[in-house]
Amino acid sequence: MHHQYLSRLSQPLREFVAHVEEQAGIAIDVIQELRLNKGGPFGVGNLEIEIQAQRVQLFAPTNGYFPDGAVRHEVLHVQRFHLDGVPKLALADAVDWDKSFSDALGQIDNAIEHMVIVPIELELHPERRAHWEAVMANVCSNLHTVPDVERSLAVCLHWPFMSRVFPDSQNFQLLRDYASEFDLSDVATSFSEQFLASSKEDQVGMLFEKFSDILPRERASLEYVNSATGTKQSPIP
């Protein structure tokens, strides 16, 4: 990461960034994007990261938004994929390009990763709780716009995160009320317990097994990225 961005971070975070870059064998390039200036739940900006085997790009607003907690969050994604060897959920190389499905897989993958990353982020940067509460408030406020066919998937995907990260939050109560309205509470509770006790690979397999009608297994893959060995895809278990 270039010095002009590192210098804006706390010393512990600078050390973490340096560790991840060194161990991954790849630099994190920060790129300013005007479109991110009004992003995030409060409209003050947000960060995005693109992680590939040979390139990591951290996109940041041009308005100066570059808080420690948000930066750590994105670098934790790099640590997970490049250092810990955790796979990404991605469109299978063997199928035709499908932006809509690829984007959906990315959103699902992000939701799974956040179950691990956000607790670490909040432990080290407790001020970020307001950000994540606002994110989940947006999610809960939009639940009734979820198509009927995707309703159970939405509940089962958000329930593990809320039960682990914000068990006492009003937002979790809103999710429980929504699940109860459609008789999904028992399903979500059982699914969440098994989901949180499983590896990433098994979690993905559980999702594709339970929701095979909207998540065709043959169109997706587990994608491993590494600066030394490149990109490798494996079938969904």
pLDDT digits (tens, 9 = 90+) for 188-200: 999 999 999 999 9
Per-residue pLDDT tens for 17-74?
999 999 999 999 999 999 999 999 999 999 999 999 999 999 999 999 999 999 999 9
For residues 201-208, give the mean pLDDT. Answer: 98
CB 173 within 8 A of CB 163: no
CA atoms of 226 and 80, how far apart (whole Å): 11
> pLDDT averaged over the chain?
97
Give the containing element (helix H, strand E) for 225.
strand 220-226
Token readout for 167 is 């068990």
The band of 95, judged by pLDDT with boundaries at 50, 70 and 90, is very high
Q: Does pTM top 0.85 for this prediction? A: yes
- Which tokens in the block code for residue 228? 């030394």
| Two structure tokens written together for 119 | 């607790």
pLDDT at 73: 98
CA distance 63 to 115: 29
Please report the pLDDT score of residue 219 as a whole number: 97
